[in-house]
Homo-oligomer: A and B are copies of this chain.
Amino acid sequence: MGKAYNVMAATCPSRVVLHRIGARWTVFAVNALEHGPMRFTELKAHIRGITPKALTETLRAMEADGLLVRTDLGGNPPHVEYALTDLGRSLLVPLRAVRQWAEAHVPDILAARERSGDPEPAT
């Protein structure tokens, strides 16, 4: 059988999945965990510009969706590790393609923006 779900359907759960993937920081978190587990502070440093709140929310949501696991190793100072699950690792594949597309086409898009966004001299 082929596609059991159709992203265009509005009532379709795949909408929800796509929404999570597009959720602003998910892509970065997945990419950051590509090479192994990381701690909260490591992630925060690696994903430049993310706030702790956003990071917490992203990680919680991804955990709820089974994309990663949170392991609290206790002790003090606290030690918490985040690692991709198999599901999360499988997502890595298509996301890597997207990232590469983004990195490859930055000049095209910036050029297009120059062209369209600039023509607006004041008054």
Contacts and interface: CB of A to CB of B under 8 A. Distances in A.
* Chain A at the B interface: SS class: helix
A13 interface: yes
Task: Give the size range of A's interface with the partner.
Answer: 35 or more
Number of copies: 2
B99 A97 contact: no
Contact of A31 (B8, B65, B90, B95): B8
Contact of A4 (B3, B47, B103): B103
Contact of A18 (B16, B32, B99): B99
A99 B100 CA distance: 17
A75 to B, nearest CB: 25
A48 interface: yes
